[in-house]
Every structure is written in structure tokens, then in C-alpha cells.
Amino acid sequence: MTAQATTATPSHTGHGHDDADYLRVDTSPLSWIVTLDHKRLGILYLASTLTMFFVGGVYALLIRTELLTPGRTIMDPDTYNKVFTLHGAIMVFLFIIPSVPAALGNFFLPIMLGAKDVAFPRLNLASFYVYVVGAAFALFSIFSNSVDTGWTFYTPYSQTTSTSTISMTLAVFILGFSSILTGVNFMATVHKLRAPGLHWKRLPLFVWGIYATAVIQVLATPVLAITLLMLLMEKVLSIGWFDPRLGGDPVLFQHFFWFYSHPAVYIMILPGMAVVNEIIATFSRRKIFGYMFVAMSSVGLALLGFLVWGHHMFVAGMSEYATMVFSGLTFLVAIPSGVKVFNWVATLYNGSVSFQSPMLYALAFIVLFTIGGLTGLFLGTLSVDVHLHDTYFVVAHFHYVMVGGTVIGFIGGLHYWWPKMTGKMFDERLAKVAFAFVFVGFNMTFLTQFVMGSQGMPRRYYDYLDQFQPLHGFSSVGAYVLGVGFLIMLVMFALSLFRGEAAPPNPWGSAGFEWATASPPIAHNFHHTPVIHRGPYDYHLATEEELFDGFPAAAQKTAAPAKTAAPAAAPDPEKAPAKAAEPAPPARREEEE
Amino acid sequence: MASSHDPSRAKWGSWLQHHFEEPVQQFEAAKLGMWLFLAQEVLFFSGLFVAYGVYRVAYPEAFAAGSAQLDWKIGFFNTCVLLFSSFTAAMAVRAAQLGRRQETSIHLAITIVCAFVFLGVKYVEYSAKFEHGLLPGNHFAPDMAHVHPWLEGAAAVTELPVKTHVFFGIYFCLTGLHGIHVAIGIGVLAWVLIRNVRGEFSKDYWTPVDLVALYWHLVDLVWIYLFPLLYLI
């Protein structure tokens, strides 16, 4: 009865014109610019955010190069201030925030829901245009006089600096609306466009994560927008709300700013966690342990994220009672984070784990995010924070969460869904080499910074004492290793695009719904709206056909390439049949609980 | 893209977008989207309201003096105008649901006229403030001949406290942002009106009328808070 799990009746001949995949249905450049297809918009976002990641990465390497030696290495102090500001602003607003939700989310959220598109396709396109306009403002700011305030635009310095903060503030203001519109769209989509049978307890955890993210995007981002508008008004009209000379309070700006920007941290990390859920389930061939707990921990993180903004200002002049409350609330964040980490590990336990490249990134995520999360406890502790505040310890902490968490999750998701998005397989061996470089390089760069920070090296400084040189040097070399890792990855993906073998519908043998359609998906995602009879991780209910060949309708077309692609798909084609026999035991264990 | 060859969809108009199964799904999605948008609007205004609260507590006398410079009668008139326009917006939705196209148009038109009246009155108010030098921050240069006395305890005072410019900064930002929303409302209402005249709506499909009315109610609601906060207390 449950054999015909997620469905899709075989395609009818009458739908011939619908069978073209979304990339080939119309190849003119104009069709991309005015596309309403969520998949194409996902690809457009992916290309834009990856470009921004490259730019932000170049700035990061410039920072690390300057810090190789004390004193001047390659740039003067003013340039250095601009470079670290741009690194932060570009990475946060133009790369990380839109990376997973707008790129991967746009592509996979509707497919996972069994929908033809997001709820508001035109709004989706508008939101991409808004993103481009915001990016244009940011570029204008960079090329006019740049910004040197740090990505946080703290007053009063942002009021007095002669750099072009106005255009950069406007850029972030505009990018915020892109984020809000995407959030509104996704929430409405999850509520109203789920396929028949896909109730909330069957939602893929990726959808849960993106949904929780969307809640924050809708409720927190407008506060950033108004804060930046107030900053602009202060600069243009000198209102007197942030400028102490006019009777204002700079700490009020910090409250406003972090009321958005702390939840924004969860806008960044929740989608990374969301991706990791999917990868871990697929490569463990097992239902995610404690599914509802993991789903609710995403929602819990989203809500707690609104209550902890004060921990950015422990030494900024808040009352000591307020700091105690914020410190206590900050520790609460450890609970949903812990729920996730323990449940992932419990999912691995007794699963049939295979170590393909997406899984390596997911495992790296668990390790690095745990380090990032635990060092957050140091910073949330009032007395310790006084020592560590504004040191490299903070830098290392949030890079472990943002890069070790979100970026690793994003890259893992990119590997995982690459065959679905492009219809091409990639060179698994090259992917693993790139992973090794990224993992080693990242830890060299930032583990060192924990040590430097605890020894008192302040963040943002252009110059430093000679005693820190060895550590700074080691960190910079790590950054180069990390950079080489990303370059290898770039080559690997480029090779895949041009020479990769055709991907089968379901190259990883996943029970997830998105693998039910062809690779790449047809323009309408599915020939008929699917009817869902099982959860996305119910390996014990999925047929072998579903797990290894994709769906009958999709497989018919790609059956031939699927066979030839199998050796390239994974270095262990012999193991694949063995895995097919395995899913049953862990599933039974699941039912006993 | 639209699956026009699907016979089950033939009974609905071209307004049913291809990715929805049936009209009620499309309507509910649109309505939910609008409510979410309104939620973010509330939070968008919240920053200014918080600033109002913070500085009202910090400089109570400046707010008392500043508030006394605003004419509550004009504010009250504008409140009535907006409340009435909200009523006509609601009537437009009702008429649209019943498929009475002409009635919908009339109600939408009245709503737009009210919005223009509101902005006109606001223009008169703003000009007076500009002339009297009651402006934000560094531009604050009050013309003392036009300063209304305000009550400090029981005594009427004509001297303005030093931080009165903060009040006017917040006043102009709050009412300005609200005014921008009114102007956007005029644009959207006009667009819906044109579509209604073209006959795009029917008893089966009136979602845009409903959504624009929701937006208009929010614009009204924000003013319902602004009026007492700025003019009365």
C-alpha cells in the first residue's frame, strides 16, 4: 500500500511540451531576466551570491595578508579599515543572508512541498531585482569613497566619517527588503502550497529550517530597515536620536541595530542547519532522530534569537541588571542548539553512514558548529566577556558559526543538490581534496584566533605587538589554504558543468521528495501534483526503485544516462546494492522507540 | 506556462495562476502574504515609536512644549478623514464581493479623494511648521512670535525647552513616513480602481480589492496611534 510512496503518475503523451527541463525550456537571455520560475531565480541568486562570496573572500585574503607582519605589509591603515568593513558587509548582507534561503531555498522549497512554484512568483522576481539594486548601491559606495565604519555602522563614528556611508546604508536598507519579500513568500508557500498528504509532521526539515528563517526575516529585518533609515535621517536632518551632541544616545542605536542583527545571526545559521538535516538523513539512510524536536528547535532558535540582542553590549553601558537578564537568556540558546547536535549524532548512530563529499561537509558542520556554539558560552558569561570582548576570540567564535556553520552547510548543500540543479555529476575525488583543504585551512585560520584573542589581541587592529606575529602568520597561511580549497572547488564545479556526466534523478539514493523529479527538474517540477504517503526520511517505507532510480516517470527518460553515470556518481558503485538491503534494520529500531 | 488545456481549470478565469489548484488556495495565500507584509510594516514603524517612547521619557518638557505647537483640531480633522476613508475601503470590498463593479469603483474613488485631502491638510500643517522654524535638529529656529504657550505644571510658558528639536525630529519622521505610506496607498488604490473599471474583478475574484483595503486599514491604524501621541498627550 505504501509502496507507491510519493507518487507521480507516469507522464501522458499530451504533456509533451511540458517535458523540457527548466534550463532548456527557453534558453534566451531575456527568458532568464524576466523568469518567474523559482528554480531559475534560485540559480540567479546562486550565481550572484557566489560572486559576492568571491569578492568578500578576496577582501578576507587582503586582510590576512596585511596582518602577516606587524606594521604596514601591503596597505595603509585607512585602506585596511575599508577592507575589513567591506569584507563584513559583503559577506553578511550580500552573501550569507541570501545564500541558503534565496538560492537553495528558492530552488528546493517548492519542489520539496510538491508545488509548481512559490506562492508569489512575481514577488520572487521582484525580490531578486531589489537584491540587484541593493548590490548596485553597495558597489557604488565601494567605488565612490568606500566605508570604514565596520559592518555595524556604529554611531557616532558613522555620523562623522567622511566615507560614503549614506549609499552603503541605503544598500543594506534595500537588501533588507529583498530579504523580507523572500521571507513573506516562503511563509505563504509553506502554509498554502503543500501537496496533498504533506502535513506539518511530514515536512522535510530543510523546509522547517527555511520556514523558521522566514519568520525572522519578516519580523526582524524591518527593524534593521527603520534603524538604517533613522541613521540616514540623523545624518541628513540631525534629528538628535543617536548623536549625543544633539541629545541622542549612541547606545540606543546599538540596541536597534542588534535587535535585528542578532536574529540575523539565526537567519544565517538556521538554513545551514536545515541543509545538514537533509544530508545527514540521506547519507545515514535513516530517519532523523527526534524529528519533531529538531523541527521545533529551529522554531525555538528563531524565537530565542529575538531575546538576546543585549549580549552584544555587555560593556557598552547597559545597566548591570539588564546584562544579567541578557546573559541568562543567552544561555538558553544552548538548549535548542544542543538538541540539534545531539539528534544529528544520534541519527548517525547505527545508520549506514557513507562518506561522500556532501556528508563530509555535514560532519564538518557538526564539529565546527559545536566549537562555535560552545565558545559562545564564554562570551555570554558576563565576567569572561569583559576580558574577551572585542578580541580575536569573538572573531574566531562567529567565524566558527558563520563559516564553519553556515558556509560549510551551504557548500555541503551545493554538493548535495548540484546533480539535481544542473543535471551533472561532479568529480568526487576532486571534491574530497577541496574539502580537505577547506577543513584544514579553516581550522588553521580560526583556531589560532581563539588563542590570540584569549591572550588579548584586539579585533580590527591594523598593527599589533611582535609577540602575536607567529600566530597571525599561521592564521594567514591557513587563510591561503582555505582559499586554495575554494579554488579547487571552483575548478571541480566548472569541470562538472562543462564535462560532467549526466546525473540520474536520485544519485545519492535519498528518500527525500526533491529527488522524485528528474535531474534537472522539468519546468513545472512535476507532471502532476504529487500525493505524499510517507515522510521524507522514511527509508523503511521507500521502495528501492524510489531510492536508487528516481521515480518511474522521471527514470524512463534518463534511464540510459543514469546507468553510465553511476560509476562517476560515487566512487563506490559496488557498495550501492549493499546499501539497498540495509535501510530496514535502523527503520525498525525507529519504530520501537 | 498556464495549463490552459486542463479542463478542470477551464471554469475559472485567467486570473487563477498556474501553480494554484483552485481559487480558494490562491486567495488564502495572497491574504496570508498580505498579513505577513502588514506584520513587517508594524515592526518597520516600531523603531520610530520606540524612539518616541525613549525620548519622551528623557525629555518630557520638550515633548509637552512641542506637542503644544501642533493644532489638535487639524489632527482631529485628518483622523476623521482617514477613519471615513477606511470605512469606504471596507465598503469597496463588500461591493466587490457582491460583484457590484460600479459601486466598488465609487467607494475606491472616495477613498482616494480622502487620501488626497489628508495629504493636503498635512501639506498646510507642514508649511506652517517650516515657516515658523519648527524643524528638526540643527534646522530648528523657532519664530517666537508664533510659539503657542504650553503648560509646565499650572503655569503657561512660551519659552521652548532646549531639546524641543528632538520632538520635531521625531514628529517629522513619524508623520513623514506615514505620509509616504499614504502616498503609496493612493498609487495602489488607483491601480486597483483602474483594474476594477477594466472589469478584471468579479464575484469570483476580488482579492486585490481586499488586499489594498487591508493595507489601507493599516495606514489608518498607524495614524490612530500617531494622533494622540503627537497632538494630544
Q: Which of A234, A237, A238 to mutate to test the interface with B (most CBs of B within 10 A)?
A: A237
Owning domain of residue B203: 36-140+160-232
- Taking contacts as CB-CB distances below 8 angstroms, the residues of chain B near A194 are none
CB pairs under 8 A between A and B: 128
Which whole number is the average pLDDT over A443-462? 95
Which whole number is the average pLDDT over A264-284? 94
pLDDT of residue A540: 86
pLDDT of residue B147: 81
Would you say residue A583 has pLDDT above 70?
no
Q: Using 50, 70 and 90 to split pLDDT, how confident is the model at A3?
A: very low
- Taking contacts as CB-CB distances below 8 angstroms, the residues of chain B near A267 are none
Q: Using 50, 70 and 90 to split pLDDT, how confident is the model at A10?
A: very low
Domain for residue B9, yes or no? no
Q: Using 50, 70 and 90 to split pLDDT, how confident is the model at B7?
A: low
Q: Determine the distance in angstroms separating the CA of A275 from the nearest CA of chain B, rounded to an integer.
A: 25
Q: Which of A180, A191, A241 to mutate to test the interface with B (most CBs of B within 10 A)?
A: A241
Q: Determine the distance in angstroms separating the CA of A83 from the nearest CA of chain B, rounded to an integer.
A: 30
d(CA A35, CA A18): 16
Per CB distance under 8 Å, which residues of B are interface residues toward A?
1, 3, 5, 17-21, 25, 28-30, 32-33, 36-37, 39-41, 43-48, 50-51, 54-55, 58-59, 136-139, 162-163, 165-166, 169-170, 172-173, 177
Q: Determine the distance in angstroms separating the CA of A302 from the nearest CA of chain B, rounded to an integer.
A: 16
C-beta atoms of B173 and A239 within 8 A: yes
Which whole number is the average pLDDT over A463-471? 95
Q: Please give the tally of structural domains in chain B.
A: 1
Which of A180, A191, A256 is closest, CB to CB, to B32? Answer: A191
pLDDT of residue A18: 56
Q: Using 50, 70 and 90 to split pLDDT, how confident is the model at B5?
A: low
B184-227 pLDDT, tens digit per residue, is 999 999 999 999 999 899 888 999 999 999 999 999 999 999 99
Q: Torsion-angle region of residue A114: left (phi > 0), alpha (psi -120 to 50) or beta?
A: left
Domain for residue B28, yes or no? no
Q: Using 50, 70 and 90 to split pLDDT, how confident is the model at A545?
A: confident
Would you say residue B49 has pLDDT above 90?
yes
Would you say residue A563 has pLDDT above 70?
no
C-beta atoms of A246 and B17 within 8 A: no
pLDDT of residue A339: 95
pLDDT of residue A102: 94
Which whole number is the average pLDDT over A311-340? 92
Phi, psi of A457, deg, nearest 5: -75, 115
Which of B36, B45, B173 is closest, CB to CB, to A184? Answer: B36
pLDDT of residue A590: 39
Q: Determine the distance in angstroms separating the CA of B58 from the nearest CA of chain A, rounded to an integer.
A: 9
**What does chain A come to in residues?**
593
Q: What is the DSSP string of A7-73?
A: --PPPPGGGGGG-SBTTTS---HHHHHT---HHHHHHHHHHHHHHHHHHHHHHHHHHHHHTTSSS-S
Give the chain B residue nearest A195 (alpha carbons).
B21
A406-446 pLDDT, tens digit per residue, is 999 999 999 999 999 999 999 999 999 999 999 999 999 99
Q: What is the CATH number of the domain that holds B65?
A: 1.20.120.80
Joined together, the cell numbers standing for residue B144 give 517666537
Give the chain B residue nearest A119 (alpha carbons).
B29
Give the chain B residue nearest A186 (alpha carbons).
B33
Joined together, the cell numbers standing for residue A324 give 544579567
pLDDT of residue B92: 95
Q: Using 50, 70 and 90 to split pLDDT, how confident is the model at B2?
A: very low
Q: Report the range of poorest mean pLDDT among A165-169, A510-514, A525-529, A554-558.
A: A554-558
Q: Are B55 and B136 in contact (CB under 8 A)?
A: no
C-beta atoms of B46 and A223 within 8 A: yes
Q: Using 50, 70 and 90 to split pLDDT, how confident is the model at A224?
A: very high
Which of B33, B47, B169 is closest, CB to CB, to A239? Answer: B169
Q: Using 50, 70 and 90 to split pLDDT, how confident is the model at B6?
A: low
d(CA A74, CA A67): 9
- Taking contacts as CB-CB distances below 8 angstroms, the residues of chain A near B3 are 524
The residue to which cell 522549497 is assigned: A109
C-beta atoms of A191 and B29 within 8 A: yes
pLDDT of residue A589: 38
Task: Give the three-class secondary structure for B225.
Answer: helix
**What mean pLDDT value characterizes chain A?**
87
Q: Report the range of poorest mean pLDDT among A59-73, A386-400, B140-154.
A: B140-154
Q: Report the range of poorest mean pLDDT among A131-135, A239-243, A272-276, B214-218.
A: A239-243
Kindly report the number of other CB atoms within 10 A of residue A447's CB atom.
15
C-beta atoms of B36 and A193 within 8 A: no
Q: Determine the distance in angstroms separating the CA of A36 from the nearest CA of chain B, rounded to an integer.
A: 10
- Taking contacts as CB-CB distances below 8 angstroms, the residues of chain B near A218 are 36, 39-40
Q: Which of A184, A186, A189, A258 to mutate to test the interface with B (most CBs of B within 10 A)?
A: A184
Would you say residue B3 has pLDDT above 70?
no
pTM: 0.89
User: Which position has the higher pLDDT, A593 or A126?
Assistant: A126
Q: Report the range of poorest mean pLDDT among A1-15, A325-339, A469-483, B209-223.
A: A1-15
d(CA A569, CA A550): 14
Q: Are A184 and A218 in contact (CB under 8 A)?
A: yes
Which whole number is the average pLDDT over B96-101? 92
pLDDT of residue A8: 41
Q: Using 50, 70 and 90 to split pLDDT, how confident is the model at A1?
A: very low
A168-182 pLDDT, tens digit per residue, is 999 999 999 999 999
Domain for residue B174, yes or no? yes
Q: Report the range of poorest mean pLDDT among A120-124, A208-212, A313-317, B212-216.
A: A313-317
pLDDT of residue A585: 39
Give the chain B residue nearest A259 (alpha carbons).
B47
* Preceding amide of A156 cis, omega within 30: yes
Inter-axis angle of helices A291-304 and A205-237, nearest 10: 10
Q: Using 50, 70 and 90 to split pLDDT, how confident is the model at B145?
A: confident
Domain for residue B22, yes or no? no
pLDDT of residue B197: 93
* Preceding amide of A263 cis, omega within 30: no
Q: Are A488 and A426 in contact (CB under 8 A)?
A: no
d(CA A189, CA A511): 22
C-beta atoms of B1 and A36 within 8 A: yes
Which of B1, B18, B39 is closest, CB to CB, to A218? Answer: B39
pLDDT of residue A23: 87
Opening angle at CA A38, ends A504 and A560, nearest 5: 15
Domain for residue B216, yes or no? yes
Cβ within 8 Å of residue A190, ≥6 positions away: A109, A113, A203, A207, A210, A211, A214
d(CA A251, CA A245): 14
CATH of domain A40-592: 1.20.210.10
pLDDT of residue A14: 40
C-beta atoms of A119 and B29 within 8 A: yes
Which of A120, A220, A529 is closest, CB to CB, to B21? Answer: A529
Domain for residue B86, yes or no? yes
Task: Give the three-class secondary structure for A522.
Answer: strand
Give the chain B residue nearest A234 (alpha carbons).
B137
pLDDT of residue B176: 94
- Taking contacts as CB-CB distances below 8 angstroms, the residues of chain B near A240 are 136-137, 163, 165-166, 169
The residue to which cell 531576466 is assigned: A33
Give the chain A residue nearest B169 (alpha carbons).
A239
Which of B17, B37, B43 is closest, CB to CB, to A223? Answer: B43
